[in-house]
Chains A and B, each alone.
Chain A
Amino acid sequence: MQDESGSVLPSSQSLHRLAISESGFIFDPTSGHHFTVNETGLDILRHLQTAHSPAELVALLQREYSASEKEIERDVLEFAAMLRKFIGD
């Protein structure tokens, strides 16, 4: 997986501007779009505030979830691609 300098995760600027509710409602004030995420997605967004690389994010999630590193990495890759699509790089 690529690190922060790569293109896997959205930029920290994009992530920091999001308004995230505890129920999983996301609002992007720049575009005006809003989204919903499930519980796993909410945890990923929460960790993205502190994680600086995909590998760090996967390690954080592995501590909380009973799933293999491979499975978490695969789903994080896909989720990150969706995030980039919806909120920009």
Chain B
Amino acid sequence: MTGKKQWIKPTIVPLRSGLLNKFGSQEAPWIDAIDEVPIPQLLEQYGSPLFVVSERRLRRNIQRLKRAFSARYPSVIFGWSYKTNYLGAVCNTFHQEGSWAEVVSEFEYQKARSLGVPGHNILFNGPFKRPGILRLAVSEGAHIHVDHLDELYELEQIAQQLKTPIEVTLRLNFDTGYTETWSRFGFNVESGQALDAAWRIASSEHLNLTGLHSHIGTFVLEPRAYANQVRTMCEFMHEVESLTNCHITYLDIGGGFASMNSLQGIYLPAEQMVPSEEQYAEAVCDVLLELTHDRETRGFKRPTLILETGRALVDDAEHLISTVVANKRLPDGRRAVVVDAGVNILFTAFWYNHKVMPTRILPGKPEDTTIYGPLCMNIDVVRNSVMLPPLSIGDNLVYSPVGAYNHTQWMQFIEYRPNVVMIDENRNVSVIREAENLEVVTAQERLPAHLSAAYPQGAPEDILSERSSDSNN
């Protein structure tokens, strides 16, 4: 023991009256382990930055959501939304829990099939399904959600070629009164477009209308929006069944449930803003039960309810760990830190204020801090303003929730993308996506012969060596 005091970065903070934070100041919470695996151990083995997925949390989330809906409605199916997070280990965790695959492209369809999902467990959405993959999906029994009339005609042609009728689902759009109408996808109900499409299907020898789909938006914080959605879909179902003599077997209400994240511009904490799974389930199932109770008397089963929940199932099951690489003082006096994880891998930093936690109790007064990523780009701001105590180089910061949309929207930009690991229910850690290196990033490049060398005539001289030869003369 030297008897000397511990050095804590000196701080000086101006006091300003009238600018007090109305929510008060909070002690910075900290996190030193994920699913009981110590963070230093994870970093030592897999490097920084590092994404950490909790298998336990993934399973718990889908089990809870399933319970909330299955307790209220007799027939419920979940389709795992691949675009939210299509890492194979994440997808198969949900598939093992009984989820189908919800895909929106050739790549996602092929990925689901490669993971072992049969065509009849795939819901195929999206405005562009390449002809080859659409034909394959039809022949493999996938559920095709039709987005526009041109796709309807394409499906009719495929059915003629395959000499077998195709069961199709119409994607609908309409106003719920709560969310912005996503009118670019599917057929509009209010204008009569959706009914026209249903009539067209009814007049075809090759197509049968068996399902209805709609997706009302993203990060929907008002459960009543779903109640209105189900009401409109049920009314449309009754209308098309009585007018066109079709039989609707399922209603797919898409996704959009919010996760425990904080959207930028919303100042209340997520815990106060985000409805529980029970609230969403109640809003959906109460209306669905009410509007389908007479189907059995008419000889129809109640339609199966399909949900394509993504974000609310995966977001809080993943953390990103980063390391502080530099401290800065901005010209306006604010403190900034540079960390080794930027918006290239944490794409959702553009619209969320992620929770940021150190991995130990940090001494010193919290101060308004900007967190910059490592990119040489002005846009690389991970948190614009967060209260943090002084940080030293090598300190770690953990961001959460980060499980939704980061592994699908991240980009290989400037830096390599890091390891992603998963902690299983027995606390075993596995790499589920390896860190990139030069070989991975350049694997798809090809150099024409005449561009195979950077300097075929030899590299230009260093500017400093020119200067030193000048001074020698």
Q: Which of B2, B10, B365 contacts A66 (CB 8 A)?
A: B2
Give A39 to B11 CA distance when docked, in angstroms: 9
**Are A65 and B10 closer than 8 Å at their CB atoms?**
no
**Are A66 and B12 closer than 8 Å at their CB atoms?**
no
Collect the chain B residues with CB atoms within 8 Å of residue A38's CB. 8, 10-11, 364-365
- Whether a CB of chain A sits under 8 angstroms from the CB of B427 is no
**Are A65 and B5 closer than 8 Å at their CB atoms?**
yes
**Are B7 and A86 closer than 8 Å at their CB atoms?**
no
Of the A-B pairs whose beta carbons lie under 8 Å apart in the complex, a sample of 24, sorted by A's number, is A34-B14, A35-B12, A35-B14, A36-B13, A36-B15, A37-B10, A37-B11, A38-B11, A38-B365, A39-B5, A40-B7, A40-B9, A41-B10, A44-B10, A63-B4, A66-B2, A66-B4, A66-B5, A66-B7, A67-B7, A71-B7, A75-B7, A79-B10, A82-B333
Collect the chain B residues with CB atoms within 8 Å of residue A55's CB. none
Say whether chain B's binding surface is mostly helix, strand, loop, or mixed: loop
- Whether a CB of chain A sits under 8 angstroms from the CB of B327 is yes
- In the complex, what's the smallest C-beta–C-beta distance from A33 to chain B, in angstroms? 6
- Whether a CB of chain B sits under 8 angstroms from the CB of A51 is no
Collect the chain A residues with CB atoms within 8 Å of residue B11's CB. 37-38, 40-41, 79
- Whether a CB of chain A sits under 8 angstroms from the CB of B161 is no
Interface residues of B in 1-30 (CB under 8 A from A): 2, 4-15
Q: Which of A40, A64, A85, A86 contacts B10 (CB 8 A)?
A: A40
The chain B residue with its CB closest to the CB of A71 is B7
- Whether a CB of chain A sits under 8 angstroms from the CB of B120 is no
Using an 8 Å CB-CB cutoff, how does the interface string of A52-80 with B read, 1 for contact, 0 for none? 00000000000111110001100110110
Give A82 to B14 CA distance when docked, in angstroms: 10
**Are B14 and A83 closer than 8 Å at their CB atoms?**
no
Q: Which of A65, A78, A82, A85 contacts B7 (CB 8 A)?
A: A65
- In the complex, what's the smallest C-beta–C-beta distance from B13 to chain A, in angstroms? 5
Collect the chain A residues with CB atoms within 8 Å of residue B9's CB. 40, 75
Show the binding face of B for A, using Cβ within 8 Å. Answer: 2, 4-15, 327, 329, 333, 364-365
Report the 3 A-B pairs with minimum CB-CB distance, sorted nearest first. A67-B7, A41-B10, A66-B4
**Are B14 and A65 closer than 8 Å at their CB atoms?**
no
- In the complex, what's the smallest C-beta–C-beta distance from A7 to chain B, in angstroms? 16
**Are B15 and A34 closer than 8 Å at their CB atoms?**
yes
- In the complex, what's the smallest C-beta–C-beta distance from B387 to chain A, in angstroms? 14
Give A36 to B366 CA distance when docked, in angstroms: 12
Give A43 to B12 CA distance when docked, in angstroms: 12
- In the complex, what's the smallest C-beta–C-beta distance from B140 to chain A, in angstroms? 62
Give A65 to B327 CA distance when docked, in angstroms: 20
- In the complex, what's the smallest C-beta–C-beta distance from B333 to chain A, in angstroms? 6
Q: Which of B4, B13, B329, B364 contacts A65 (CB 8 A)?
A: B4
- Known contacts A33-B14, A66-B4; can you find 16 more A-B pairs with CB under 8 A? A36-B13, A36-B365, A37-B10, A37-B13, A39-B8, A40-B7, A40-B8, A40-B10, A44-B10, A65-B5, A66-B2, A71-B7, A75-B10, A82-B329, A83-B12, A85-B333
Give A39 to B116 CA distance when docked, in angstroms: 61
Give A44 to B9 CA distance when docked, in angstroms: 11
Collect the chain A residues with CB atoms within 8 Å of residue B333's CB. 82, 85-86
Collect the chain B residues with CB atoms within 8 Å of residue A36's CB. 12-13, 15, 365
Given contact pairs A38-B364, A81-B329, A82-B333, A76 touches B12 in the complex (Cβ within 8 A): no
The chain A residue with its CB closest to the CB of B367 is A38
Q: Which of A37, A39, A72 contacts B12 (CB 8 A)?
A: A37
Greatest chain B CB density within 10 A among A34, A67, A86 is at A67
The chain B residue with its CB closest to the CB of A78 is B329
**Are B5 and A35 closer than 8 Å at their CB atoms?**
no
Collect the chain A residues with CB atoms within 8 Å of residue B327's CB. 78
Collect the chain A residues with CB atoms within 8 Å of residue B13's CB. 35-37
Collect the chain A residues with CB atoms within 8 Å of residue B7's CB. 40, 65-67, 71-72, 75
- In the complex, what's the smallest C-beta–C-beta distance from A74 to chain B, in angstroms? 8
Give A19 to B10 CA distance when docked, in angstroms: 18
**Are B12 and A64 closer than 8 Å at their CB atoms?**
no
Using an 8 Å CB-CB cutoff, how does the interface string of A18-57 with B read, 1 for contact, 0 for none? 0000000010000001111111110110000000000000
The chain A residue with its CB closest to the CB of B11 is A38
